[in-house]
Structures are given as C-alpha cells and as structure tokens.
Amino acid sequence: MKEEINKTLIKKVVLRNIKDELLNITRYRSENNLVYLLKFKNADKVIKIDTSKEHWKIEKEIYIYSLLKKESIPVPNIICYDLGFTVIPYQWYIMEKIGDINLNEIYARDKKGSKALFFELGCIFAKIHNIHFSKQGEISKEKIEEKSFYDIKRESLEKDITNLKKKNLISEEDCKKVLEIFETIPLNKECSLCHEDYGPWQAIVNNNKITGIIDWEWARSSDPLYDFAKARFNLALWSGNLDYFDKGYWSIRPMDDKGKLLLIKYMVVSALSVLAFFAENENNFNMANKKFKMLIDAV
C-alpha cells in the first residue's frame, strides 16, 4: 500500500467542499492510489487521490464516468474534484459511497449465491463495449491519441517476451508460438471503450446489485474482443463463475463458434502479459503459467 497522506489536509479539502459534519477518515486498501472513506453525519463518501502526479489520470476518469452515466452504466457520482493541486499536492476527486464490498469478495464467501451477479457483470461489460469512439487509441480527456490495438499489443508483446526471456521464464518455442498466434488474429478496427482490467474486483456491490464499476485509469478505445479475453483469463485465475459471466456478455454481444475460437487466441496473448506482470511473484506466475500452457496447447 502507498504511504499515508496527512489527514489534516484531507479534512481541509472536505470542509471546503462538503456541507456535512465529518466524523472520521479511514484508509481503504488500494495498491495504486490513496483512497479514504469519509464518514459523515448524513451520507458517507470516498476520496480518491492520485499520488503519481500523472496529471491525466483523474481528469480521464472523470471524463469516462460522464460517458458511462449517459449509457446507464453503474458508476459512482463524482461530487467534487480538484485538478489544480490547491490544498493537497495531488489531484483528487470525492465520490459518493456506493458500497462496502466488491464482487470478488462476495464470490469468496458465496460462490453459488453470486452467480446472478456474475451474469450482471457480463451484461455490463458488453454494454461498455457498445460505447464507441471514432478511432482506436489512448483516451486523453475528451480526445483520442490515435494508435491501433495491433501496434499497442505488438509493442507490449515484444517487451514482455524480452523480459520473460531475460529471466528464463519462457521457452523460445512458446515465444515463437505466441507471436505466430498473434499474427493470425485478423485486424479488428472496432473502437470500443475497453476497461483493460475488468473483473469482479472492480465491481462494487450493495444490496445484491452491482452499484459501480471503478478504476478507469487505463481504459482505451480498442478491440473489445481482446478486453473480453483478458477479463476471462484473469477471472479464470483469480475468481470464478466464468460461465455466468460469459452468458451475461453473450446475451448482449452474441458470439459464434468462429468468434469463440478467436477468443482463445486472444486469451493466449493476454496470458503472456499476465506472466510478465507476475515475473517476480513465483506463486502467481506458476498459476498463470499453468493456465497459459493449457491455452497454448488448445490453439
């Protein structure tokens, strides 16, 4: 977890922007940002602080939340924000509190009872992929910095392969096969809103309903089939109810047998990025590698 920030500064921010009695400030667990629960007399809220000083992140998320709300995708309401570093030396926004637990935590407690929520998770994902832009590329506030999915993925694949080979974590044969598989994937020019880290860990649940999909910092206008494949691979590794997730997605964006075969190829490609990410984590790497081997043998 990132280091704490002075809560006196957070309190100062809150008192400037929220007309309610602040009772307590509690840190949430978060790997990439500072996130705090703001307990008020009337209605609790959450503040997210971007300590990376990459000024585009908060602005980008605010913009994407506005797009999603127009399409009735469940996301938290942003109450106020600051992009000017006026009190805290970082950018931040305060949003409504939409729940205390994510879907992955619910799955760990009740695998069978969470099936309907995984179906809903798939439906929401398909609706997100039905939001389109004029071109593929990085989303920067209200514009797209054009770059095709193929170019982005080819660069990251080569980088991941180089890093894995340096650590002797992948064979030459598997490297060659992954690149060959990638080259057989037909160029998809669809320009969908892609989350890039979608899963039950990003779905906040309240009263047995998904109330918000969070963490849109890495979203792109890109190939939705790869985004779906990446989500499926991670779901198969770290969560479950994949069949219900699939049914929900396919109820809105149907997929024929040809598409499902292509999906497996995409999952092989996404698996390699997961292997590279966990190169320093032996347990997670071995879990991902086992699944990777099964997929590459199935193509």
Give the C-alpha distances (Å, rounded to integers) separating 202 from 9, 86, 102, 124, 210: 28, 29, 7, 12, 10
Q: Is residue 35 situated within a structural domain?
A: yes
Are 92 and 111 part of one and the same domain? Answer: no
Tell me the C-alpha distance between 139 and 137, whole Å. 6
Question: Does any domain span residue 120?
Answer: yes
Question: 2 in a domain, yes or no?
Answer: no
**Of 120, 91, 114, 89, the residue nearest 101 (C-alpha):** 114
pTM of full prediction above 0.85:
yes
How many separate domains does the chain show? 2
258, part of any domain: yes
| Mean pLDDT, all residues of the chain | 92
Confidence grade of residue 108 (pLDDT, cut at 50, 70, 90)? very high
Q: Which two tokens stand for residue 201?
A: 């860990």
Query: In CATH, what number is assigned to the domain containing residue 81?
Result: 3.30.200.20
- pLDDT at residue 231 is higher than 80: yes
What is the mean predicted confidence (pLDDT) over 77-91?
Answer: 90
Written as one letter, the residue type at 71 is E
Beta bridge partners of 15: none
The residues, ordered by sequence, that sit 6+ positions from 155 with a Cβ below 8 Å of its Cβ are none
Verify that 265 and 127 share a domain, yes or no: yes
Q: Do 76 and 129 belong together in one domain?
A: no
What percent of the chain stands above pLDDT 70? 97
Bridge partners (DSSP) listed for residue 193: 221
pLDDT (average), residues 259-278? 94
Same domain, 130 and 115: yes
Task: Quote the CA–CA distance of 154 and 148 in Å, as a whole number.
Answer: 10
In a domain, 187, yes or no: yes
* 112 and 73 inside one domain: no
Q: What's the whole-number mean pLDDT along residues 13-35?
A: 86
142 and 39 assigned to the same domain: no
Of the residues 96, 111, 146, the one at which a domain ends? 96
Residues 84, 208 within the same domain: no
Structural domain harbouring 230: 101-298
In a domain, 1, yes or no: no
Query: 43-57, 141-155, 221-235, 276-290 — which is least confidently predicted?
Result: 43-57
Do the beta carbons of residue 242 and residue 119 sit within 8 Å? no
Q: Are residues 108 and 91 in the same domain?
A: no
Confidence class for position 4, pLDDT limits 50, 70, 90: low
pLDDT tens column, 159-199: 999 999 999 999 999 999 999 999 999 989 999 999 999 99
Task: Identify the helix (H) or strand (E) that includes residue 93.
Answer: strand 91-96
Q: Supply the pLDDT for residue 31.
A: 63
- What CATH number is associated with residue 150? 3.90.1200.10
- Give the dihedral sign, CA 96/98/104/105: positive
Tokens 């598989």: give the residue: 181
Q: Are residues 138 and 46 in the same domain?
A: no
Q: Are 60 and 219 in contact (CB under 8 A)?
A: yes
